[in-house]
Amino acid sequence: MALLRDCRNPRLASPKKPLLALGLEGSANKLGAGVIKHNEDGSATVLANIRHTYITPPGEGFLPRDTAQHHREWANKVIKDAVSQAGISMHDLDCICYTKGPGMGAPLQSVALVARTLAIMFNKPLVGVNHCVGHIEMGREITGAQNPVVLYVSGGNTQVIAYSRQCYRIFGETLDIAVGNCLDRFARVINLSNDPSPGYNIEQEAKKGKRLVPLPYATKGMDVSLSGILTSVEGYTMNERFRPIGVPYNPEDDVITPADLCYSLQETVFAMLVEITERAMAHIGSTEVLIVGGVGCNERLQEMMGIMAQERGGQVFATDERFCIDNGIMIAHAGLLSYRTGYHTPLEKSTCTQRFRTDEVHVAWRL
C-alpha cells in the first residue's frame, strides 16, 4: 500500500467518502490490473498494482493475436491477485476502468471485453480511459509536478505535450515510428533478449559502448523522424567491421560492436527528444519536464533531460518502472478522476479506438 501525493484540484472537489476503482490495461504486451483509492482529504492510495508481460523469444516481436491470447489467459489471475492484494471485494468498487486506446486492436478488445463483463456482473459503472492521459495523470500524481511539459515516450507513442484549457495539447510528435519501437526493433536486429524488455537491454548494452558512429539527426521543427535512423543503424550491422554479440575480436582492431551501435542510437535519438522538449519549455515558459511512458525509465534519457533542465533553471520529474511501464493503476487513477466529474462510458459505447489521440480527451478534472 502506498500513499501518494495530494491529488486535489481546484476544479475537482475532494470526495465525500473514499472512492475505489479497478483499472485494466492491455494496450500492448503488458497486462495490468490496479486498484486505487481516492481519499476524503484529496490524497490517493495505491492498493494494488499487478502486471504480467508477454515475452517473446530473442529476435521476435509480439503479434496482436498472440498478445490478445496472453491477456485472455492471464486476465483472471491478474485481476484476482490485484483485488486480493488490495484487501477488497469487487462489490466495494465504485467504478471499473479500462484502456479504450490507443494501442493494438486485438489486445485492447480482449481487455475491454473483460471490463464489460465485470461491469455487468457486479453492476458497476464503466469508464474508458485514454492510455496516454493515464500515463500523464499518474506521473503528475506520483511526482507532484504542477504544470510540466510532458515527454511521453513508449513503444507506440512519442509526443511532447503541454496542458491548456482542459486539453493535453501535442506540441510535437514522431512523424513515423515511436522511439520505443525504434529501440525494440534494433534490439531484434542484434538478437538481444526481450526479457525483461528489449529497451532495457539496449540501455544496458549502450553503457558498454565506446564509439559514437554517425547517424541521421532528424528533427523537423517540433517533430522527429526515427525510421531513417533505424535504417541507418541497421546498415552498420552489415559493415565488414561489425562484430555481432558472442563473436570474439581483438580489442585493438578497428571494429564496430553492438554496444557501440546501441550507444550511438540512444545518444542521437535522445538528443533529438531533448531538443524538441526544450523548445516546448521555452514556448510555454515552463521550468518542469515530466517524462512518462516505458522509455521514460531509461536513466540516460533522464540524465540528458536533467542537464538541459538544469541549464534552464528547471527540474525533471520521472517515475520508476512500477508506474513508467504500462500498468493498471494509471488507468484506475485517470478513470476515477474522470468518474468524479460525472463521466462514465455506456456499455453500448465501450469500444476501443486504436488511434485515440491525447488531444481528443476532455480533461474535465483540471481548470
Per the document, the length of the chain is: 367
For 124, phi and psi rounded to 5 degrees? -115, 145
Spatial neighbors of 35 by CB under 8 A, at least 6 apart, are: 20, 21, 22, 23, 46, 47, 48, 82, 83, 85, 86, 88, 93, 329, 332
> Annotated binding site for a divalent metal cation, which residues?
131, 135, 152, 326
Q: How far apart are CA 63 and CA 303, in angstroms?
A: 33
Tell me the CB-side half-sphere exposure of residue 107, using CA atoms within 13 A: 25
> Annotated binding site for substrate, which residues?
152-156, 184, 199, 203, 298
> Annotated binding site, which residues?
131, 135, 152-156, 184, 199, 203, 298, 326
Q: How far apart are CA 60 and CA 288, in angstroms?
A: 37
Euclidean distance between the first and the last CA atom of the chain, given in angstroms as a whole number: 30
- CA 107 vs. chain centroid, Å, equals 16
Q: How far apart are CA 31 and CA 98, in angstroms?
A: 11
DSSP annotation string for 195-225:
SS-HHHHHHHHHTT----------EETTEE-
Task: Please answer whether residues 136 and 292 qualify as being in contact, where contact means their C-beta atoms are separated by less than 8 angstroms.
Answer: yes
